């Protein structure tokens, strides 16, 4: 079974590349983030043509998550149970579903913006709600994983130059503690390091030639429970998909399981 996650940074802008990637990589399940469209504008028909059903949590031009599956979708939960509001609204940042033998969450964790910004506190509260929401499945016997754009680099090795990020979000002790608390529910990072290269970054800013210079961050993660991580046979960042015209600023992360 192949399960992947990808922040596509607008499914409308990325649709030709997404469809081509689905045809070439053939994941059984794909978790998407930052789809940036309303649910009724989601390209269901195009995806159905490739054999994929879709569960979507999206409301407009910002945020938005989805789960695509060609092995069935059941028990869909839209949103983060107990999740905090931001500026009086529940943002579409989480969706979960059972796909074949596995249960997955697609999450787009709040960015945090700046450590002095209200969004930073919101990010930490969102992590707390996520931890509480996944605890039962994380401790369970069924293969289970939380996949997505976590907007946190787990360690200094997951950014190209720690000095550049000093004092910024994505690397603060509080954010990394939130990740550790999530792992403590029974989850672990299933993507081994190093992979085929020293720094398997998943995100490179569009500006300042960050991708050609490999000035990246590893913030797209797959955290699985014991049943999930024990079944992993291979995992990789599809760095090739970050190349070329019209690419997302994130690369897909792909995990192959024997389940």
The residue from 149, 170, 203, 236 that is catalytic is: 149
Backbone phi, psi, residue 6, to 5°: -155, 120
Strands (E), 70-215: 74-78, 94-99, 102-108, 144-149, 188-189, 203-204
| 238 marked ligand binding residue | no
Comparison of pLDDT for 197 and 82, the residue scoring more: 82
Instruction: Establish whether 201 is a catalytic residue.
Output: no
pLDDT on residue 55: 98
Flag whether pLDDT at 245 surpasses 70: yes
pLDDT, tens digit, for every residue of 217-227?
999 999 999 99
Length of the chain: 259
| 34 marked ligand binding residue | yes
pLDDT, tens digit, for every residue of 122-166?
999 999 999 999 999 999 999 999 999 999 999 999 999 999 999
Mean pLDDT of 72-89: 96
Backbone phi, psi, residue 22, to 5°: -60, -40
Write the CATH number for 104.
3.60.10.10
Percent of the chain whose pLDDT exceeds 90: 95
pLDDT on residue 229: 97
pLDDT on residue 240: 95
The residue from 52, 122, 203, 250 that is catalytic is: 250
Residue range(s) defining the domain that contains residue 128: 2-257
Lookup result for tokens 């990010």 = 123
Backbone phi, psi, residue 154, to 5°: -60, -35
Flag whether pLDDT at 196 surpasses 90: no
pLDDT on residue 63: 96
Mean pLDDT of 66-74: 98
Q: What is the pTM of this model?
A: 0.97
Closest listed residue to residue 35, CA positions, set 68, 8, 6: 8
pLDDT on residue 227: 98
Label residue 200 by pLDDT band (50, 70, 90): confident
Average pLDDT, the chain: 96
Distance CA 42, CA 99 (A): 20
pLDDT on residue 134: 98
The residue from 28, 52, 108, 158 that is catalytic is: 108
CB 108 within 8 A of CB 96: no
Q: Domain count for the chain, please give it.
A: 1
CB 67 within 8 A of CB 104: yes
Instruction: Establish whether 203 is a catalytic residue.
Output: no
Instruction: Establish whether 223 is a catalytic residue.
Output: no
Closest listed residue to residue 95, CA positions, set 85, 105, 109: 105
| 149 marked ligand binding residue | yes
pLDDT, tens digit, for every residue of 2-45?
999 999 999 999 999 999 999 999 999 999 999 999 999 999 99
Lookup result for tokens 């499914």 = 11
| 111 marked ligand binding residue | no
Label residue 61 by pLDDT band (50, 70, 90): confident
pLDDT on residue 30: 99
Q: How far apart are the first and last CA of the chain?
A: 7
Mean pLDDT of 84-91: 95
Flag whether pLDDT at 235 surpasses 80: yes
| 240 marked ligand binding residue | no
Mean pLDDT of 101-130: 97
Tokens of 171: 């690397």
């Amino acid at each position: 079974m192949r399960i992947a996650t990808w922040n596509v940074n607008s499914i409308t802008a990325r649709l030709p590349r997404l469809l081509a990637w689905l045809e070439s990589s053939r994941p059984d399940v794909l978790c998407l983030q930052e789809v940036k469209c309303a649910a009724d504008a989601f390209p269901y028909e195009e995806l159905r043509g490739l054999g994929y059903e879709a569960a979507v949590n999206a409301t407009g031009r910002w945020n938005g998550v989805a789960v695509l599956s060609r092995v069935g979708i059941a028990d869909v939960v839209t949103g983060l149970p107990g999740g905090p509001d931001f500026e009086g609204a529940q943002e579409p940042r989480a969706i979960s579903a059972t796909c074949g033998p596995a249960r997955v969450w697609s999450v787009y964790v709040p960015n945090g913006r700046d450590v002095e910004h209200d969004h930073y506190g919101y990010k930490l509260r969102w992590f707390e709600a996520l931890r509480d929401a996944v605890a039962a499945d994380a401790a369970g016997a069924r293969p289970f994983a939380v996949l997505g754009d976590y907007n946190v680099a787990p360690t200094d090795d997951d950014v190209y130059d720690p000095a550049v990020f000093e004092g910024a979000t994505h690397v603060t002790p509080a954010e990394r503690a939130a990740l550790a608390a999530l792992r403590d529910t029974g989850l672990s990072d299933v993507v081994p390091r190093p992979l085929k290269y020293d720094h398997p970054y998943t995100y490179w800013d569009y500006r300042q030639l960050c991708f050609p210079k490999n000035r990246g961050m590893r913030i797209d993660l797959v955290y699985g429970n014991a049943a999930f991580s024990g079944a992993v046979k291979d995992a990789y960042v599809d760095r090739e998909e970050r190349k070329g015209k019209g690419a997302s600023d994130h690369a897909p992360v792909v995990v192959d399981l024997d389940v």
